Chains A and B, each alone.
Chain A
Amino acid sequence: MPIIKMNGLSKIYKTGKVSVEALRKIDIDIDENEFVAIVGPSGSGKSTLMNIIGCLDTPSTGDYYLDDEEVGRFGSNKLAEVRNRKIGFVFQNFNLLSYATTYENIELPLIFSGMPAKRRKTRTMELLDRVGLAERAAHKPTELSGGEMQRIAIARALANNPAILLADEPTGNLDSVSGGSIIEIFRELHADGATIVMITHDRHIADNIPRVIKLKDGGIVDSLN
């Protein structure tokens, strides 16, 4: 049974009289421990697909099963719980809280999951260690480089041992060197058994990812040309 299963899934945005069909009749199966790249031109629906996979948004029509559960039926509290336990988000612009320390940023999903303080502390230090920034625990994000900020964001995404890691152009705001090191971390995580779905613009990155899904005008295509 695939961990992600989509059947005839569509998403239509209605703004006033205009409606945009951001996704049309998508069928995707993704198995556990797959590393999938999603590519496509700007506006092709990549982020929309990612938001639906990550339960930030719900499809207009079609079914979406995450880990055997039809999440389209869930209410907002249950969706929050699913996001907290099963999904780890990594964003292009990091989305770290600027007033909080790196430690506190990583701790946030653990607070939301209601983990007791003592275990939270051990877990947060473990995660900081995992991305090699243990000595930066007390720093504010603004004191870090872009690559370091993205590593903190990855640590935060891993906090509750999610079933899926979702990354929306995680190297988009980074130079090629730090971008490379971020991709390296994802490779390691994949090797350790993680399921990863990553949006990317970068051909070189996509070429080195085992499975690539190509999107165009909201639909899956075999080739982008």
Chain B
Amino acid sequence: MKRIFLMLRLFASDFKKQKKKITLTVMAIAWGTVSIIMLLSFGEGLRRQIAKGESGMGSGIVVVWGGQTTKPFKGLPPGRRIVMKPEDIDLLRARIPDMEDVGGEYQRWSVDIRYGKKMVGRHCTGVTPSYENIRNHIPQEGGRFINKHDLDEKRRVAFLGSGLAKELFGDQDPIGKQITINRVPFTIIGVMIEKLQMGMYSGPDADRVIIPMTTFGLIFGDTRLDVLIYKPKNPDDSEKVKKEVYRILGGKYKFNPDDERALSMWDTIEQSKTMGDVLFGIQLFLGIIGALTMLVAGVGVANIMYVTVRRRTKEIGLKMALGAKAKYILWEFILEALLIGALGGSFGFLFSGVIIKILKGIPVKGEALQFLGKPVLSTEIALATVGVLAMIAFWAGYFPSKKAAKINPAESLRYE
């Protein structure tokens, strides 16, 4: 305790003698800190936005379309088209224990949708209730998604994408209002919350109208599934589950389970793993650039400490004469370097905090800014920054302190 107190005073006296140099170095450390934090925070913001955008369509899901066989199977020729049926949803759910949920879609493009005098042509989708969860269709407050009763009773209820709701209703609350779909009246039961969606098929979810699959069948007469979507319980089991899907559907539609092209699959699990690796690489790269900036500042600290050792040669000799061991001398300088590091680091953190706060206050418009304009200073980033800072400051003190500990006390006290 006493030592630290004395050390601070020693630092104060050093500061008076090297004011300009220490100030500049503290600023360099602050800048190094700011650059590490900002680079990592922007990287983290990008990572989170992308993760969010990826999960916009639903996370950990596989989208399946019917395909065409390429292998002969049990006497059947190759080249047959495979088309799935709505019953396959329940079939896969029942037969695969590792399956979290399965959903499906009937699709129709450019369907006539009207509200009052407004009329648009949009994508209409018929779905099961499971769609809400696996395809991330969260209703805004006051509304709900399509449920089992809607399905069983073939109700004429509709769930609107957020964009389509705006288009038709503007600022009005659409819940409970009547629209027509293909001239058939429907009641709006819910509107999807606004979401960032990177992956999509058949257009963005925001521009669709969604109705119960059974009702869809009544109106449009569809009996064949356009899309099947499934989500394994555990993303790590995705390969295993995929094999099961091929095996079960292959058994039902008579194709070879090894015939990959019989079904057409979009595996978002695989894709997001790859994306995760790429983003980790980017983070690492940004972190290294930041650390290099810090290293340059660290050289400044080491330089100051070398000057200090030279200036204090006699004092070091005196302390040795009074019985200070090398360890004490070493720590004195290391602590002083850490102190400079802590000082610069504090300014750096403060400054970064202010920058991030200001950036958060600016409203973001436009696609690119959605991804880049949202830096996130996470605990991990703060810890990593403190770690780099402490390590560099430590070494910046260590090398000069080694020199100090090698001072010959007799020699240093000789010159009066």
Q: List residues of chain A with CB under 8 Å of any chain B CB.
A: 47, 51, 54, 56-57, 76-77, 80-81, 83-85, 89, 91-93, 95, 97-100, 104, 107-109, 111-113, 117, 120, 156, 160
Contact = CB atoms under 8 A, between A and B. Distances in A.
A133 B410 CA distance: 29
Given A57-B410, A89-B321, A109-B323, 19 more contacts: A56-B320, A80-B323, A80-B324, A80-B325, A80-B326, A83-B320, A83-B323, A84-B323, A95-B314, A95-B321, A97-B318, A99-B9, A100-B6, A100-B9, A111-B2, A112-B323, A117-B1, A120-B2, A160-B323
Nearest to A80: B325
Given A51-B410, A104-B6, A112 B328 contact: yes
Interface in B115-163: none
A112 B2 CA distance: 11
Contacts of B323: 80-81, 83-85, 109, 112-113, 160
15 contacts: A56-B320, A56-B321, A56-B410, A57-B410, A80-B320, A80-B326, A84-B322, A84-B324, A89-B322, A91-B413, A95-B321, A95-B413, A99-B13, A111-B3, A112-B328
A104 B319 CA distance: 13
B2 A99 contact: no
Contact of A112 (B13, B325, B409, B413): B325
B416 interface: yes
Contact of A92 (B320, B328, B416): B416
Interface in B306-355: 314-315, 318-328
Interface in B382-416: 408-410, 413-414, 416
Looking at B1, B2, B321, B413, the one whose CB has the most chain A CB atoms below 10 A away is: B321
A62 B321 CA distance: 22
B24 interface: no
B359 interface: no
Interface in B1-41: 1-3, 6, 9-10, 12-13
Contacts of A77: 325-327
Majority secondary structure, A binding face: helix
Looking at B12, B315, B324, B410, the one whose CB has the most chain A CB atoms below 10 A away is: B410
3 smallest A-B Cβ distances: which pairs?
A84-B323, A57-B410, A56-B410
A47 B325 contact: no
B326 A83 contact: no
Contacts of A120: 2
Given A99-B9, A99-B12, A111-B3, A93 B416 contact: yes
Nearest to B10: A99
B322 A109 contact: yes
A202 B248 CA distance: 111
A98 B314 CA distance: 12
Majority secondary structure, B binding face: helix
Nearest to B320: A80
Contacts of A84: 322-324
Contacts of A80: 320, 323-326
A2 to B, nearest CB: 23
A97 B7 CA distance: 12
B175 to A, nearest CB: 72
B328 A95 contact: no
A81 B1 CA distance: 21
A77 B330 CA distance: 13
A172 B159 CA distance: 99
A76 B408 CA distance: 10
Contacts of B320: 56, 80, 83
Contacts of B327: 77
A43 to B, nearest CB: 12
Nearest to B314: A95
Nearest to B2: A111
Contact of B321 (A54, A92, A117): A54
Nearest to B321: A89
A204 B286 CA distance: 75
B413 A107 contact: no
A76 B406 CA distance: 10
Given A99-B13, A100-B9, A108 B321 contact: no
A99 B10 CA distance: 7
Nearest to B14: A99
A83 B9 contact: no
Nearest to A108: B322
A120 B1 CA distance: 13
Contacts of A97: 315, 318
A47 B414 contact: yes
A112 B9 contact: no
A117 B325 contact: no
B193 to A, nearest CB: 62
Looking at A81, A89, A99, A160, the one whose CB has the most chain B CB atoms below 10 A away is: A99
Contacts of B314: 95
B411 to A, nearest CB: 8
A92 B314 CA distance: 14
A111 B325 CA distance: 11
A148 B413 CA distance: 21
Nearest to A54: B321
Contacts of B410: 51, 56-57
B287 to A, nearest CB: 40
Contact of B413 (A56, A113, A160): A56
Contact of B2 (A76, A107, A160): A107
B322 A81 contact: no
A112 B322 contact: yes
B255 to A, nearest CB: 81
Contacts of B324: 80, 84, 112
A112 B3 CA distance: 10
A213 B1 CA distance: 44
A99 B318 CA distance: 14
A104 B1 CA distance: 13
A92 B9 CA distance: 25
